[in-house]
Structure 1
Amino acid sequence: MDYEQVRLSMSRTLEDSRPLNGIQIERFIRLHSISSKIKQCGRLDLLVETLDSELEHNARVQFFDKAVPRMVNVLYKINPGSMDTLLDKFRNQKRELTLSRSEIACLLANAFFCSYPDDTNMNFSELYSRSWGCGFNKEKIKCAVTYFNEVYGNGDQNMLQERVTFKRNTILTIPDLMNSTEPIIPLNVIHGGSIRKAFEMVQVNFANKIIGGDVLGSTCLREEMWFITCPELIVSRFFSREMEVNEAIIVEGVLQYVDFRDANSYFTCQGPMAKSAFRGPHTVISIDAMDFSNGINGIEQYTKPFVDRELVKAFAGFSGTTAKVIATGNWGGGCFNGDSVLKAKIQMIAASQAGKALYYFAFSKNELVKKLENDGLTGDNFFPQTVGEAYRHLLRFASQLYNEKKRCSSCNCHH
């Protein structure tokens, strides 16, 4: 494809469409998108409504007058001049890739205008039409507009030259945990606060197997909120359709561009981050836990193959950064139906093997904190001194729980 000709054609279309509004952006996308989803769907009504009726006046003016012309101008202008080259780097690179914020913004501008083939899983198309379900789509579109206003509307060229590194850390040789003499580092349990506000630490994203989850769809849980308010994370979706069982994806240098509110399970965009607020750069580790709520018997999580799977996954994340302090929490719990204490022990062992200290954010769940303390996971009272001792203790603990729950299920009791 001659991307420069496409870019010039889009620029001419833009000039012919002034003054810009949501309907013109919809026509613009339909004219130039190669996505079959765009061509098959009806009106991009959510996009039009959001751009024309839901944005604050200043944000709308900034987007149409400043951001959109620059977004169109940089489409396909990615060093060394071809989008194909950059996409090939993502698909073929097994370890890491460093991009400028300018290059990332160009990739995301293409996603906004739905310029990718459908198999990239990167187009914003599913946010734009009611035919795919509303959910939190309007709020996500507002977040995207806020991001583009920040990178293209404010004209901070120094920021655009900053670098972000995307890593795939793959564990090819599984450590011999049974015989490991690495010292155990007990958990530091934080009763309140949140992982995302642990600014001085590397932050763990409890990821879906498809990284970013439904960030470009109608769902808006923890991971989706994280990615849409820090849109540079979305680019990590280029790496792979699904994460392998022995890999983690790590992004270094990401910024939070969008402030938000998450109250009573309802997510709302609050515009750009305040100038006085700390927005990064952050390092984010994405690791996907096993989902025991979706057709897998929950008691299987206590068997050695599943315990080892989670240990390898956590180790892939924790060993992939040079930082010594990591913020985590109830990874794989909640809607994934994982055992919180089991997962805490798994994370502690994996982190200790990697030589990292874990700060465990319990989100004010006092019952969980009590369980962790009663199991001796905090402070100096955790009796195994080495990873090997802790691993053997973990397997005994898991086996005991498996047998208890197996007996319980056979007699239909509730434990």
Structure 2
Amino acid sequence: GQCANGWQPVDCGMSARETKLLFSEPRVPVGAWISPHLPALSRSVESVDGLAKLMKELHGPQAGLGKSLEAAIIGQERNFFGSLLPFVQKLACEAPKLFPDGVAVLQRQRDGTRRLSSRQIASLLACAFFSLLSKVDSVIEKCPELDFAYVFDRCKTQTQYLLHYFQRLEEADAAGEFPERFVDFHRRVVAEEEKKRKFSNDALLKSNAPLRDFKAHSKGEIQDSKGAIHADFANEWIGGGALMGGCVQEEILFMIRPECLASMLFCEVMAPNESIIITGAERFSSYSGYGHTFTWKGDYRDPTPLDSHKRLRTVIVAFDALVATSSNQYKMENMQREIIKAYAALSFPRSCFESHAEKGYAFKAFATGNWGCGAFRGHIPLKAMLQWISASEAGKGPSLHTISKQKLRLQFSKQKLRLWWTTAKNEHARQDDGGITHLTPFFCNNCRYCILRLWRRWGAGLGRGDTQALGGRKDGRVALEGTRELLRRGGHAWGSLLVPYRRTGSAAAREKPRRGPCSRHVRSYAPGV
């Protein structure tokens, strides 16, 4: 069973060789870092000046008390110095005992799992409270930094979230009900052989994987999706700007579920073929807003049940998008990179979750959204299609939550996707005629224009009769045949994409395919045949 530091390699499905390999990996020497500070951490602190003095003792005369933390204490001195701060000090002092062998690093290009108890995570975050886990060792130079100093100095909202987390734990501990749970952190790597076998140009075009049901929502949040895999639109350095004042999707996720922050200590920066899966992180807070409107809205009691490994039935997948420009995101190698990245997030091993379909926790749906479409400037329709391919290859159904209702209506209307959906919902048509091959022919070098036309003009040239005849049929095979008929007629659906002929000019010009990004996909037939 259980190792001295709380990990359970047997429960994680690790062989004897993998267990031996685990303890040969680089480790974060938490105990060695904290032990010299135990006398100072054990000392009673009764005022703001006393806390500032403690920080100077820990870090030198240049250190001090952060402005945001000091502002949060005002009016709450009795509770803060009477119970909350002593509890945080106690958790930090427990670190050498809880981590006698340190924390093994989740290295790049190596699959692995770390299982930490809720008390171990609380101890790590308590050490971060006092800035005791700063990068002082080359062993974690490829990991983000777990340190609350910036937040406590400049971020009032994030300070509220972190203090509320410790307040909840202190109340539970005082009542003798400290949670006995575990959280798993898993690094998933898509090997080179798997990449070539599944995601080369030919493999994608020949894939017979069925397209899973695609759903779009204008209401609700990703984290409200019960029994679904939750997307974390991550930075390659997991956590992103969560401890640097960031207020977008990943940073908000890490604030309402602070246990995710522990990953920043031992997860190395992600490679293009990797993702990080977090299983069992509890939600402690409610929130509202986004970006500069992000605010704390109060306590949240997570109703998610435990599985047999004492993990909450919550699965979060962290996967970083490509920083896009106006042209590079449409290149084949970059689209393949995004497909592989999303597939790494969704093809995790069964040990990362425990299905309980009877209670609504089957984890067959993938709650996602506009991945990489904010600061990373990704094209919303393109990223949705790439995620759809990856999710289908992994056997998951994407459920897209969008922030902008207008974008939802314009970019993801059911009328535009009806032909695909009608085909995809028919199992027989999926296997014989449907599947990922409906999407992949549009992905060639510099295919921005066909992506735009596919999503913005889908159905624009269809008459009402054509739309009803194709989209209104329940039989996917009939819908597919109807689409082929439009192609033969030179209609506006796939015909305008796969047969990019000029529609004006001389007969010779009409017979010659238009030069453009999709010329490699031009069929041998002409419009009007």
CA distance in 2, matches of 1:248, 1:290: 13
In the other structure, the counterpart of 1:411 is none
Alpha-carbon spacing, 1:5–1:309, altered in 2? closer, same or farther (3 Å) = closer
List alignment gaps of at least 5 residues for structure 2: 1-30, 136-140, 306-311, 351-362, 454-514, 518-529
In the other structure, the counterpart of 2:129 is 112
Task: After TM superposition, give the deviation of residue 97 of structure 1 in Å.
Answer: 0.8
Give the length in aligned residue pairs.
382
Residue 379 of structure 1 pairs with residue 421 of structure 2: yes
Residue 186 of structure 1: which of 189, 198, 213 is its match? 213
CA distance in 2, matches of 1:403, 1:261: 34
In the other structure, the counterpart of 1:50 is 72
Residue 151 of structure 1 pairs with residue 169 of structure 2: yes
CA distance in 2, matches of 1:162, 1:179: 44
Residue 121 of structure 1 pairs with residue 140 of structure 2: no
* CA contact 2:125–2:262 (8 Å) conserved in 1: yes
In the other structure, the counterpart of 1:10 is 40
Letter aligned with residue 47 of structure 1: L
* CA contact 1:63–1:148 (8 Å) conserved in 2: no
Work out which structure has the larger RCO, using CA pairs closer than 8 Å and 6 or more positions apart in sequence.
Answer: 1
Alpha-carbon spacing, 1:10–1:386, altered in 2? closer, same or farther (3 Å) = farther
Structural mapping, 1:345-360, within 5 Å: 345-360=385-400
* CA contact 1:188–1:359 (8 Å) conserved in 2: yes
Residue 399 of structure 1: which of 447, 463, 481 is its match? 447
CA distance in 2, matches of 1:158, 1:394: 55
CA distance in 1, matches of 2:176, 2:102: 22
Residue 303 of structure 1 pairs with residue 327 of structure 2: no
What SS class does the counterpart of residue 341 from structure 1 fall into? helix
Alpha-carbon spacing, 1:400–1:52, altered in 2? closer, same or farther (3 Å) = closer
* CA contact 1:257–1:279 (8 Å) conserved in 2: no
CA distance in 1, matches of 2:176, 2:158: 25
- When normalised by structure 2's length, the TM-score is 0.65
CA distance in 1, matches of 2:71, 2:94: 30
Residue 88 of structure 1: which of 59, 82, 104 is its match? 104
Task: After TM superposition, give the deviation of residue 182 of structure 1 in Å.
Answer: 1.4
* CA contact 1:169–1:250 (8 Å) conserved in 2: yes
CA distance in 1, matches of 2:223, 2:318: 13
Cα deviation, 1:111-168, whole Å, max 9, x if unaligned, reads 1110113355111111233xxxx3xx01111111100011123326555311111111
In the other structure, the counterpart of 1:283 is 315
List alignment gaps of at least 5 residues for structure 1: 409-415
In the other structure, the counterpart of 2:379 is 339
Residue 184 of structure 2: which of 158, 165, 184 is its match? 165
Deviation above 6 Å: which 4+ runs of structure 1?
A: 402-408
Structural mapping, 1:131-280, within 5 Å: 134=154, 137-155=155-173, 158-172=177-191, 173-174=194-195, 175=198, 176-262=203-289, 265-273=292-300, 275=301, 278=303
* CA contact 2:321–2:372 (8 Å) conserved in 1: yes
Letter aligned with residue 29 of structure 1: M
* CA contact 2:98–2:120 (8 Å) conserved in 1: no
Letter aligned with residue 289 of structure 1: A
* CA contact 1:177–1:388 (8 Å) conserved in 2: yes
Cα deviation, 1:32-77, whole Å, max 9, x if unaligned, reads 24xxxx7656653332222225xxx4xx544432232222223253
* CA contact 1:21–1:51 (8 Å) conserved in 2: no
Alpha-carbon spacing, 1:336–1:407, altered in 2? closer, same or farther (3 Å) = farther
In the other structure, the counterpart of 2:48 is 22
Residue 316 of structure 1 pairs with residue 344 of structure 2: yes
Cα deviation, 1:249-296, whole Å, max 9, x if unaligned, reads 1111111112222278422223322x5x6467422111111122xxxx
- When normalised by structure 1's length, the TM-score is 0.81
Letter aligned with residue 86 of structure 1: G
What SS class does the counterpart of residue 183 from structure 2 fall into? strand
* CA contact 2:69–2:156 (8 Å) conserved in 1: yes
* CA contact 1:98–1:164 (8 Å) conserved in 2: yes
In the other structure, the counterpart of 2:468 is none
CA distance in 2, matches of 1:235, 1:4: 16
Task: After TM superposition, give the deviation of residue 99 of structure 1 in Å.
Answer: 0.8
Task: After TM superposition, give the deviation of residue 2 of structure 1 in Å.
Answer: 5.5
Task: After TM superposition, give the deviation of residue 360 of structure 1 in Å.
Answer: 1.1
In the other structure, the counterpart of 2:486 is none
* CA contact 1:22–1:48 (8 Å) conserved in 2: yes
Alpha-carbon spacing, 1:369–1:86, altered in 2? closer, same or farther (3 Å) = farther
Letter aligned with residue 440 of structure 2: R
Alpha-carbon spacing, 1:267–1:152, altered in 2? closer, same or farther (3 Å) = same
Task: After TM superposition, give the deviation of residue 3 of structure 1 in Å.
Answer: 6.2
CA distance in 1, matches of 2:90, 2:452: 63
Letter aligned with residue 139 of structure 1: T
Residue 390 of structure 1 pairs with residue 438 of structure 2: yes
* CA contact 2:32–2:96 (8 Å) conserved in 1: no
Task: After TM superposition, give the deviation of residue 205 of structure 1 in Å.
Answer: 1.1
Letter aligned with residue 319 of structure 1: S
* CA contact 1:327–1:361 (8 Å) conserved in 2: yes
Cα deviation, 1:2-33, whole Å, max 9, x if unaligned, reads 567535403442x2x3xx23332232223124
Greater Cα offset, 229-238 or 381-390: 381-390
Letter aligned with residue 346 of structure 2: F
Cα deviation, 1:318-337, whole Å, max 9, x if unaligned, reads 11265311101111113321
Alpha-carbon spacing, 1:399–1:150, altered in 2? closer, same or farther (3 Å) = same
